[in-house]
Structure 1
């Protein structure tokens, strides 16, 4: 009788343990969607940078180094142009900077919504002509992958 009881016990154990394996594993798409929902797409793991700023270990200081370098370089490139002469009333211009994953840079002037006094095409043309030959920019990184980032920099045209 004890053999029958032992066989019955193992058989019932085997049947009940199959319930643990009966659950379906989530599909690849389900796992991917769950993982994608966890990611904060508005933040990057590492901001764009240039080689001169890469030696800085503190992330906030490295970010500040990059923005200061970019702003100063844009100001220097625009200070030798006629922008300040053509538009003496403009002392600061906002420039939208796009850093692409392949390290390309794109610059676009930002104008107030009510500004009709400026020749936007001429200012845009001056920006595209003057803002060339930048050193290599390392793009922003999100989860180990280079990503596109955009930000607006205030660029001072007059230093007096």
Structure 2
């Protein structure tokens, strides 16, 4: 008699690292205060706004002294782990900002890596929390 036995445990499912293909039903990362918003786009905007505010609240402005005024934007790439831990993945900072704020990398690193955990992204078709990455613009404006 031929046959096969299909005993498997869902916890043994391995999701390959690398590029994750997002479906419209997948859940993006969020925080509790935004998670109750029904519209996905509004929930995502809420999350990004609150995250940006938290980053600015964590910046140690005592380390920032500029000689000339700045009005520029830098882009930070944030990684949210499947455990909800937020970390700085990458940043795009132009030379003008780097010259005025030489410690900008460490300032951003400290501000972002000290943020509280958030609700991670979820691949809803398999019900697994996954790493996610996205970019945020940060406007640097001094007088």
TM-score, structure 1 length as denominator?
0.61
Is 1:158 aligned to residue 141 of structure 2? yes
Deviation at 1:132, TM superposition (A): 4.3
- Partners of 1:130 and 1:58 in 2: CA distance: 29
Q: Equivalent residues in 2 for 1:87-106 (5 A)?
A: 88-89=69-70, 91-106=72-87
| Aligned residue pair count | 125
Is 1:66 aligned to residue 47 of structure 2? yes
2:130 matched residue in structure 1 = 147
Change (3 A) 1:157 1:145: same
Larger Rg: 1
Change (3 A) 1:153 1:81: farther
RMSD, matched Cα: 3.5
Deviation at 1:41, TM superposition (A): 3.3
Deviation at 1:81, TM superposition (A): 4.4
Q: 3-state SS of the aligned residue for 2:59? A: helix
Q: 3-state SS of the aligned residue for 2:106? A: helix
**Structure with greater proportional helix content:** 1
CA deviation string 1:41-98 (max 9, x = no partner)? 3215000000111111221211111011112222333373444627743532211100
Gaps of 5+ in 2: 7-14
TM-score, structure 2 length as denominator?
0.67
Deviation at 1:117, TM superposition (A): 7.4
Q: Equivalent residues in 2 for 1:1-160 (5 A)?
A: 41-43=20-22, 45-78=26-59, 80-83=61-64, 85=66, 88-89=69-70, 91-107=72-88, 108-111=90-93, 115=95, 118=98, 122-142=103-123, 143-158=126-141
- Partners of 2:106 and 2:141 in 1: CA distance: 19
1:16 matched residue in structure 2 = none
